[in-house]
Structure formats: C-alpha cells, structure tokens
Structure 1
C-alpha cells in the first residue's frame, strides 16, 4: 500500500527529471511558474502538488540546513557584503545594505534546501519588490552556481520519506502494520538481517552497560576512599595517643591506591588489605574485657591438653593413618603441615581478613581464639623454618599446643596491662620455647652437645640439660638490653614458653617417678622390695 501511494504522489511531477536549466539565466521552471502569478499573490508552484502545502513541507524547509553550514561550493560568504556591492547587485542605491544581505541569504537558503517555490519571509516581501528579489537571485546564480533541480529533488525525497514514515507509524499504532524488527525505525542486529534486533542482544547490551557503570562507580569510590581511610586512621591514632606514640609518617607514607584499570593486580591486593584491616573502635574496651575471653580460651586449651595426655592411647598399627611412619614423626608432620598451610594462606590476599582475626594476636583488637591460632601462624619463611626445625627434634604435640597457648596469652596480658595495645605477635616461638624447656628438664642430668660439630669438640663443648636451658634463658634476657637486640622478637612470649616448659617437664618427671614407685622392677619384687 505504501509503495502504491508513493508512485501516485510522484506521477504528476515526473517531468521535473527531464528538465535542464542554464545556470546563468532565470529560465528555470520555477522562475516561469513564479512569473505566472502577480506579485501581490503568494506563488504556488506545480511542484507543491506533492506535499509543499502540507505542514510537513514547511517543517522540512525549516529543518533544511543553511548554506553557511553545508560546506559546498554554493556557500554564501559569512561576512555581509558592503553597501556599494549591494547597490551594484540590486541596481539601486536606496536599498539598505542590511536588507540586501538578508535577501541574498534567504534566497541562498532556499536554493540549497530546494524551496525556491516557497515565499520569502514577510519582512522581506513587504520591503522589497519582486524585481529586487529576482535581481538578487540572478546574481546568486551567476556568482554561486549550483544544481537547484537536484536540491529540489532532494527536498521531494525528504518530504516523501516523512509522509511515508507518518503513514507507517499511524498504521502501526492502529495495528494494521508491524515491521519485522518489531518496531518501526528500530535498528537490526546486522545489516541485511530480516529478523530484526534480538531481544536477548538488547538485554545483554543493557546488562553490559549496567555492569560497566557499576565497575566505574566502584573504581571511583575506591580511588576517592583513600582520603576517608586516612581520616579513619588518624582518628584512631588520636584516641590512642595516651597509650601508643604515633608518628604522622606512619599514616601518610603508605603507597597510594592503584587505579584498577592501570594496575589491576596491585589494586586487587590493596583492596584485600583494606577489607582485612579492622576499623572497629576498640578503645573503650576495659582491661578485663580484653583479658578474660582470652584467659577462658587458654584455660580450656590447657584442660583439653591435660585430658588428652592422660587419656591418649596409641592406635593399633593397622588403624593408623600413616602406618609406615613412626607415631612421633607422624604427629610432628601434622603440626608442621598446619604451620606451613597457614604460612601459605598469608600469601593469599583474600585470606587476610580471616588470618587477621584468628591467627595474629593484637591487644587493641582482641580475638580470644587468636591466642591459639597464632601458635600456628608465620609470615616469614625464616621464622617458620627455624621453629619447625627445632620442633622436629624435641617436639611433643600436647606440650606444643599448651605451652604455645600459655605463652601467647602471657605476652598478650603483659601488653594489655602495660597499655601497649598496638603491638602484634604471631608464630610458634612460644610453643617451641616450651618444648625446648621441657626437653631440657627431662634431660637435666644428661650431657648435651651440638650434633653437627666435630666429635673431638663435642667432649669439650657439652653441658647438662639444665645448664643448657639456663644459657638459653640468659640469652633471651639479654634481648631486653637494646645493644644486644638484633631481632624483633616477642620476649615475653619466649620467657612464658620457657616457664611453661619447665613446669610441664617437672610435672612429667614427677609423674614418671610415681609410676616407677608404684610399679617397681621385677627383680626388686623378688627381694620383697
């Protein structure tokens, strides 16, 4: 139906295509049509039988681009022509230069837009007679030639297209017509696609845009949040001024936040660090509120270790998980594996939040379970290796856990009581100290030496277990003197571990002595002893 209507509209005007107009004369078809009418009557061209009498035609002519913006050879000069040149063009000196330039620009706009058959603005037709307008048009055709017929045909195409679109839209609104793409004027998925635009593609594009918008917002929030983060740290530092001395550089010398688009790996690590850092205000916690929960966990741990040591019975050989490994070696392997696993977790940024809660002891942010979890936690390979090396030779599982928990809590309690709340500690050093101390007590009467030195030196460099333990403790005490402090270690945890190991060693020896008296050797029983 639409094609038939278009052909019907075009039929009366097909003679325009065969018309050819010299550019230097006013013998154009439009000029001939305009001369038919008196100057007092607005012209009506035969071309207007198409659609120029409709509102669409007038709107199209108003929307047509001006000659100053089309950028072709027919463009009218941007500057106004001087008065002498205006007088020469129109053949009269009485015509104002402003009006002359206005006439020329209006005529040129009509030439470019293909609307020469339409009347000029009323302010021009009232002020200028027809011969003045014809003179201006003749000058434009001579100085700025262009294909006026092509402009007219382009205008006709625009008007026809607008009329056709209006009819199609009206038919679509009435339900008489439905395009294959779903809606008139909607874009297709690709050129030549008869099925139109896919709804799934539209939803996917919408989701992608929304995702990009969300990512950009998160990126900006991340970059803008650095100042807010520093303000939070400064506020915490102000609350702790009476407890811990802060230097301003500690809050400002941190690496600036990386842009996720430029350095995604560094930005991801920094984001995990921020998530893992607690911002809870713990300054109002009392000393009892910091100590009692951890003390309860330590008491429970010591009780469980005692029950385990008293009630443990070794499983049968075929019931063991690693039957080909000695029981002591299997136990130590499990403990070393736990320490190594936590060490690897410290290298995985998403785990920092969990580790900062339960595997590092911070008096300012106390978590009761951390007094046990920190015993299995190391951040440096050197720290892990040295502790596990000692444990492998002298370790016992119940002593390791109980001594470690007691040593960690002792250090934690001293930090709280001395108002040193911002010092953190982790590692198995306290547990290792307890294991070493107990081993030395159990071998207090034996001569101990260093295994990897030459044999002739071992006779000279040897001491009893108790002497060896006293030398170790003396070396730890020297660390309280700044001149002898070479490493940052938790001295209180070490000393508490040694104390726990000594007590456990003495209790163990006393228990063995009671068992020996209760069950004397068989040769003593034969004498009635």
Structure 2
C-alpha cells in the first residue's frame, strides 16, 4: 500500500496557516509536518483525502532555504569549550605556571584581539594567561598571593578581561573548589603536625615535595602533596571523590544559609525586616482602580458553603446532559453553508473553525487582564468546586490564565483539529469539541467534590484538545504512523492505538505523584468523550454514505425504466 500523507497538512491547514503567518510560516511548518506520515491498511476509512492541488514535499524542499531562515552555526561551537572544571579532577601533574587547557584549541590572534581589545598581547601569551587563570579557578587558588609571580608580566586589566572571558564561557564553581582546596591544606597541615616531621624545602603548602631544595625561594607550583583522604589501603576511589564533592557542596550551602539567618536575625533585632524579606512578605501595592475591582471580584465567604456532594454535582450533571443532547442534535442537523454565505469564503471551513476557536481563547485570556471583567470571569470561566455553576463547565473550556498554557494548547489543537475537521465535518467536530471539554470538567469537578478538594479550581482547553487528539487516533487506530520518516522502510511504524496507549500512560504516571498540578481527571474525561464521539461520528457518516449510495442506486434504476418506456411505448399499453 502506498504511504498516504494523513498527517501531512491538508489544504485547510496550509491556507489557514498562511492566513496567520504568511507563506514563510506555511512552507516551514508544513515541511516539518509532512514528515509525520501514516501507512493505511486495507480497511474502509471514514473519509478519504483529496491531495489535488497540495504542494508536494519535493517542491517544499526545493524552495526551502535554511540559510535564509536562520544564521549559520558551526557545530564546533557546541563542543569547543571542554575543560576540567572540578577540583577533584585536578591532575597530579598540574602546575600553576602551566595552567590547565580551557578548550580544545588555542585562541588565534583575531580572537585574542576581540577579548583584550587590541593587538598589544600576542596570542601565545594570551593563551598562557587564560590557561593559568583557568587552572587557578579549578585549583581554588585565584586569591593565593604566593602565585602572583607567574602572572606578574600581565597587567591587571588583561587579567580581568581574561577572567571575564573564562567565566562567561566555562562555568566553574570557584567557591566549592576553593573550599575543597582549603580542606586539603588543613589536612596537610594536620598531618604535618601529627608526624612532627619538617620536610626540607617546604616553606609553604604551595611547594611540592618533589621540588629540589635550593638556597633560592622555591617556585610556587599551586598543587599540594598527595594526601591520604581515605582509610582504605587501596587509596582514594572515585566514590570518595564524589562524596567529598557533595559534602563540600552541602557545607557551602549550609554556610550560605547560616549567614542569611544571622543577617536576618540582626535585621529583626534592629526592627528592620530587610529588603529581600520585605519584598517577599509584602506584595506589590495595587493601584486604587485595580484594588476596587479586585475587591468586587473577591468572594466574602470564609469557607465553602455547607452542601452535600449530590447538591453540588446534580446541576452540573444536568448541564452535561443538556450539552451532550445539544451536541448530538447539532451534529445531526447541521448543514454546511454555501461558499457565498460563509464569513471567510477564501479560507477552508476547517481552518476557519479552528481560527475562530483560537481567537475566542485569545480573547478570554485578554479578558482575564481587564479588572472590570474579573467578577464575570470568576463566575463563569473557571470551575470552582466550592461554588459550582453549570455554565462554568462550558466557559472554562476557553479560559487560560497563563499565555504559555494557552499557546501550548492552541499549537496542539491547530495541528490535530484541522485534520479531524476535514474528516468528520464542522457539525461533528464542534459537537465533539464541546462534549469533550464539558465531560472533562465534569469528571474533574466530581473528583474534587468527592475527595474534598473544594479549595482547588481548574480551567483550560486541555480536556477538549485531548478529546480531539484521541478522536483522531481512534479514527486511525489501525493506521501506521511515521515521525520524520522513522522508522525507515520496510519497517512499519506504530499504529494509532499505540499513540492512544502512550497518552493514557502519560496520565497514569502523575497519579502516583502528590506534587503535580495537572488536572488528570479532566484529561481522561476528554479522552473518553473523544473516543466515544469519534466512533459515533464515524457510524453516522457511514450510515449517511450508505443511504446516499442506495438513493443513487435507486435513481439509476428509475432512469433505466424511463428509458425503456420511451424506446417502446407500445409495451406499456
């Protein structure tokens, strides 16, 4: 069987996308979406695609110019800075005068000039300075005065620029490394005091025991002699190094918290809460205009009203039944308007419907930012188990507080909704969308009321969108899907049932977590309504197709009878 582009953008997807982003967004996103294809088995689909006039992938690839869409990025940039960054990884051969490599290759003169703002510093000397300073950051010796002799030839300004370049490109926890270094110096001194031995030539912890003893001042190396940090006769293991690093990190955090606590106590003793704590405890002052409408939108209830569970759920259940009945009647009685009667005649019906829903979601998100509308929004556009209202089940489908939440939902909605709309039509699509969203919030409200979660609220189009996604994969439950051409031929991709199982699995895992804030019940209710609605829509369309075929067949038989009578009118006498 040939591979049909069931997840490639149909005409409504392309034209609707062009209405939003123009030809640029249409060509780019349609190329990515065409990589998501399905392979159909020999089953009777509920609807067939028409690819006439659709842009082929080869044509899109021919017109696609990545250099004109995004700047060219060298792959080497992602792996250029590879260096030792932890004190525990410091090699035994490290010396401050040589430093540590800070990246795979040295800087060239052009890069040196950009860092140090001029050509006064040759590239070899600049790389030497960078290696020394990077080594000190790892060894925890940035502030060691005994090592300044190795960088005395460089000016203070050049050292600051080099250190800024390293800190901007190579993240190193200098505080923890310095703490580990201090611990090693302390242990070294303690071991020296216990043994009572004075090694010749060791005038400071910076000197190495392998350095030759001379009458001159020893050159500081920046490394400590090896210290037996473990009681094991086998030496220090990688686990010991990891443990030491974690201990140092924890002690540094404890030290920071202790300093903050002492500072806070000092401020409190002075009857001054402090700037940071004041900002945390005292909210931002609202303007009189916003404060007035916030007070009007705020309920004066001290606690949820005393009501039985059935008293909270019965009106919402009746509302759900009414929505289901209305959706079923609309799906059966809806007749598509003529092209001249449509509001947007140049846009396909699927794109027009989806654009209208996206626009409503965007408008409701804007309404949440208009203070005079807060009371209305709190009453009808968010599900409140403490004071439920029937219209909340429908209004919350289009409601979002955060733009990121709305944008993520609308992207997923647009990708699947335009395709499902083309398959089942506007009547079935809108009925399925509203039924999925309403059942999703009814499921969520039931769970919150029965579990005593009356202080929670919920909103968002996720339940309806999961219903759309579930309906699409249910209609293609035996079709094989490929994502960006994978798995490659002749391997077959996962079927639609596998994607449904994956979606359900993603919702089962959060049930075992007590910290998630996802409305699982709403999603599961939407999925259930989507699967059931898709099956009913498919049977309804199949029945209409059967009746239409019988009607055409009957009309054909009548035409034959009429033709026979016209040819031999004597036989009818």
TM-score normalised by structure 2 residue count: 0.43
TM-score normalised by structure 1 residue count: 0.46
Higher RCO by CA contacts (8 Å cutoff, separation 6 or greater) = 2
